[in-house]
Amino acid sequence: MQYCSFFKKIRDKKQMPVLCFSLLALLSQYSYADLGDGPRAYLPPPINTNVFILYGMQVSGNSMFDSGIVIPNLDLDIDLLVAQYTRTMEIADQYVAFTAVQPQGRLSSKITLPNAPNFKSETESEGLGDTQLLISAGLYGLPPLTLATYRDYKPELVVGGLVRITLPTGEYDEDKSANLGANRYSLQLGSPITFAFGESFVDPRLTTLDLLPTITLYSDNDDPFNADKTSQKPLFKFESHFTHNFNSAFWASLDSVYSYGGETKTDGQSGDNRQRSFNMGTTLGFQLSKKLGLKLSYGKTIDHNDDGLDGEFARLVLTYTQL
C-alpha cells in the first residue's frame, strides 16, 4: 500500500488518530496485467483501519483487461473506474488485511492479422470487470500495530504473504475478441518484501525499497473467442518500487515490473507464446488533508518479446482513511 505522510508532528497519543497515514498504499492492490500493485502497497496502517479508494485509469495496449493473455495484434483502449475497500485487523497475533476490489468501465479494441492486413475486427465492451478478493498478512517484522504503538515502531525488514483471487464476474461475450471480464478464475500467490529506512512508518523522510515476487495460476476458459477451450500456464512477475518522502506532504517512487511465462494452449494446441516484458513507471503522491490522499501514476512497456505485453497506462487515485 502506499504511504502517506502527515502534515503536523504528533506530540501525544490523543493526537494519534490524526496520523494522516492516508494509506494511498492499499490503493494499488488492484492491478491490470503488468501494471503491478504499486509502491508501498503492503506497508501497513494500524490495525482496525478502514481504507476507501476510488480511482480512474486509462490503459492502452495488447492485453485484455486483467486477463494475463497477450494478443500481439490487439490494439486496446480501456477506461476504468475502480472502487476498493480494505480492512486491517489482528488475527491470532498476526497483522492481516482484507481487500475487495470492483472495477467497471468500457473498452474498445481493434485486431488485425499480419497475413491479412485488410482484415479488421473491432469490439466494444462496457460494464463490470472481474471482482478481486485479497488477503495479506505480516509474516516477519510486522506485528499487529495499534494506534498507540504505530508511531514508535521502527521498521527495517518486513516480509508478508499475499493471496489474491479473481472471480469471473465481469462482462463477457464469447463472440467478442476482447472483454472486460476474463471468464475464468485466477489465483495469485506472492510475498511482499519491504526494506524500510527511517525512524517509523510516519517518518517524513522515510525511504523504502519494495519487492514483490508473485505467481498467478489460471483456470480454463471454456468459452473463448473463436475456440472451444483455452488454458494458460502460470505467469511469474517480479515487481519493485524505490520510494522516498521529500517532506510530510509529498513523495515519489520509481516503479518496475518484470513478467515471464503465461504460455497458452487453445483446443489442445500450444500457442508457443511465452511472455516476457519489462515495464517501468513513476508515481507521485500528495497528502491533501489528514484523511485524504491523492496519487498519480504513469507507466509503459520498455522491453518485450514478440508475445509480451506492450502498452502504457495512467492512473489517478483518491484515498480516504478512517482510523
Task: Provide the pLDDT confidence category of residue 44 given band limits of 50, 70 and 90.
Answer: confident
Contacts of 202 (CB under 8 A, 6+ apart): 5, 6, 10, 19, 21, 150, 151
The pLDDT score that the predictor gives to residue 35 is 58
Per the document, the length of the chain is: 323
The pLDDT score that the predictor gives to residue 138 is 94
Q: Mean pLDDT over residues 55-62, rounded? A: 91
The per-residue pLDDT for range 226-242, each reduced to its tens digit, is: 899 999 999 999 999 99
Domains assigned to the chain? 13-322 (2.40.128.130)
The per-residue pLDDT for range 270-301, each reduced to its tens digit, is: 999 999 999 999 999 998 988 999 999 999 99
Q: Please state, rounded to an integer, the average pLDDT across all residues of the chain.
A: 86
Task: Provide the pLDDT confidence category of residue 256 given band limits of 50, 70 and 90.
Answer: very high
The pLDDT score that the predictor gives to residue 33 is 39
The pLDDT score that the predictor gives to residue 65 is 63
Q: Mean pLDDT over residues 307-322, rounded? A: 92
The per-residue pLDDT for range 128-168, each reduced to its tens digit, is: 999 999 999 999 999 999 988 998 999 999 999 999 999 99
For residue 200, give the C-alpha cell. Answer: 517509523
The pLDDT score that the predictor gives to residue 113 is 66
Calculate the alpha carbon distances from 18 to 9, 21, 23, 186, 247 in Å. Answer: 10, 8, 13, 38, 17
The pLDDT score that the predictor gives to residue 26 is 35
Is pLDDT of 1 > 90?
Answer: no
